[in-house]
Every structure is written in structure tokens, then in C-alpha cells.
Amino acid sequence: MTRVLVTGASGFIAKHIVLQLLQAGHTVVGSVRSAKRQAEVRTAVAAHLEGDDWQNRLFFASLDLNADTGWKDAMENVDVLMHTASPFPISQPKNEDELIRPAVDGTLRALRAAKENGINRVILTSSAVAVMQSNLPTDKLAHDETDWSDLNHPTINAYGRSKTLAERAAWDFVQSDAPEMNLTTINPVLVLGPPLDANFGSSVSVVERVLKAKDSALPKFGLPIVDVRDVATMHLKALEMPDETRGMRFLASNGYVWFADIAKTLKTAYPNRKIVTRLAPNAFVRFLALFDKDIRTIIPQLGFAPKVSNDRARSIMGINFIPPRDAILAAAEVILRTGKVK
């Protein structure tokens, strides 16, 4: 069976990847920044695995995207690199380099180490923000894998730049330094679905925010959604289909959902909770944007639902995407069960 190094194994998406790899019988080396989080990853996947055999197929390494230490040892006997680690904060830092440097330098560090250790198969977790922050030509109805984000687009933020630059760096590295390397990228939109524990990342906090009724009204804004289980499955499909997916990007998306519809879905499922479903007038949101730079980035998209194609993932990988409603409700169920929201 294949030995796979999964960087950022403590992440929301990576825990699902580790789980599916173990379920499929592979051996996993999960990299964490802090050794303290090894037990967390083990516990998160244990609840979904039968028998004990997997315990002997899960190993850990300590790796930081900003440091060279440990990469060579972590890659020993590894067949495939799945590079998921990248900073994904809820709010954007004042200094963009806090995101851009670990994302870009970390990706190049991982790819260089892979090349030095003879690992030619790399699956990179990029993002739809490396695809969608660009204006569509008028003859095109939906973004697809041929699109690249414009680093100066009004909707792009530091995180979007970090992911766009990191993915570009990966493709450039393969082209110029490692033509033998077989690279595939998975580019998810907003990832929801059930976290494997209470340490979920930024994306699920969208559902947490609605469950906490934090906002008195919701902007006419939303995002395309995909379920974390499908995102993990796409990483495994890429592993199983190296020839069919070589040199390709794969958008992971299953349709646009307005925040107000997320709220209505949750209100229907939890009728006794206080959940705000009313819409804020666009003029009011524009006023708030004068004072809040996070709100400012959504202004160009107010009332506008960009379309993203998932044709490639369906036709080549055979993904039958989980409906957004299930992804929303599965996220909410874990958030409430783990006590993250009372």
C-alpha cells in the first residue's frame, strides 16, 4: 500500500484525508506543527475506524512551513506528498506576508524536499480563491479550472493572494525544476460538512456564526459550498488516478448558497434556536464597509452569485457531490454536539 505524507494533519480537511487514507488501507505520515496535536489527530480519526490495524499505519512528523528542519526525515520511504498545510485565519492580517510567506515558501519547501527524496507524485490543496477572484469573459457562464485569480481584483484579500501565489509557485516549480513530478491540485470553495472534532478551521465558523446569531441581519452575500468528505475523497481519487489527473486542477464545489439560506436551513432544523434570517439592506452593508475592511471585500459581490463548474471533478473523478444542505446540517450537528455553541 502507498505511504502518504499529509502536511497540516491537524487541519479540518486534513483529518478527513487522513481518515479516508487509513480506511483505504494506506500508511500515513501526518505532519503537525506542534507534537501536542498528534494525539488530537489520532483521537479524531479513531472514532471512525474499526479494529486496531490502522494504529500501525499512522505516524507523525513535526514540520513547520517556515523552517527546513525535519522535511527530509519525514519524507523517508514516502510515495506520495499531499500538501494541505497553509495558514487560513478567519480575519486577514495587517501584514499580508504573514499568510503569503508560509503559503508560498512552505509549498516550495515541500516540493523541493519531495524532489530531493525522489517523490514524484504530489497532490496540493489549493483553493477556489486561486481561480475565482477574476472577471469572467462575457461568453463564459461559470468559472472553471482554466481561470486564474487576478492578484489585483477588488474581491481578493491576503488569503486569496497567498493561495494564488502558492499554487502558481507549485506549477512553476514543476515546469522549471521538476518536469518528472506529477502534480494535481484540488481547489475547494468554502468547505463545510462534519468536522472530526471541535478544532475546526475557519470555514465551519461561518455556520458557527449563524448558530450564535452574531449578526442582527445578514448581507445579501453567500459563497459556493462543498462538503469536506467530498474534498477528502477528491484527494484520494487523485492518488488512485495519477495518469488521468496528472497536471490538472480540480475545482471542488457544489453550488452557491446565500447566507440567508444557510440561516433558513438551520432555523428549519433547529426551530427553537435564535437564528437571524433577515437580510440587511445593501446600502447598510456598504455603510458598514466604510469602517470594516473585511466587509469591504464582499461589497463587489453583494447580490451577485458567481458560478463555479464542478464538471471536471464529476466527469474525471466520478464525484457525486453531497448536497450543500447536508454539508450545512452536518457542520451544525458537530458544532452543537461538541458544545462549541451552547
Residues that bind ligand NDP (CB under 6 A): 8, 10-14, 33-34, 37, 64-66, 84-88, 102, 125, 127, 163, 188, 190-191, 201, 203
Residue nearer to ligand NDP on the CB measure, 125 or 265: 125
C-alpha R_g of the chain: 20
CB of 133 to ligand NDP, least distance (A): 13
The C-alpha cell 470594516 sits at 292
Which is nearer to ligand NDP, 71 or 280 (by Cβ)? 71
Query: Which of 235, 280 has the CB closer to ligand NDP?
Result: 235
The distance of closest approach from Cβ of residue 157 to ligand NDP in the complex, given in angstroms and rounded to an integer, is 13
Q: In the complex, what is the shortest distance from the CB of residue 8 to ligand NDP, in angstroms, rounded to a whole number?
A: 3
CB nearer to ligand NDP: pick between 206 and 276: 206
Tell me the closest approach of the beta carbon of residue 50 to ligand NDP, in angstroms: 25
| Number of other CB atoms surrounding residue 67 within 10 Å | 13
- Output 82 or 275, the one with its CB closest to ligand NDP: 82
The nearer residue to ligand NDP, 286 or 307, going by C-beta atoms, is 307
Q: Which residues of 209-218 are buried (b: 16+ CB within 10 A; e: fewer)?
A: bbbbeeeeeb
Q: How far is the CB of 83 from ligand NDP (least distance, A)?
A: 8
When the beta carbons of 78 and 280 are compared against ligand NDP, the nearer one is 78
What does the CA dihedral 284, 289, 295, 299 come to, rounded to 10 degrees? 80
Question: 337 exposed, middle or buried (CB, 10 Å; 0-12, 13-18, 19+)?
Answer: exposed
Question: Could you give the CA distance from residue 205 to residue 188 in angstroms, rounded to a whole number?
Answer: 16
- Measured CA to CA, the distance from residue 124 to residue 5 in angstroms comes to 12
Provide, rounded to whole angstroms, the least separation between the CB of residue 278 and ligand NDP: 26
CB of 282 to ligand NDP, least distance (A): 25
- Whether the CA torsion 162, 167, 173, 175 is positive or negative: it is negative
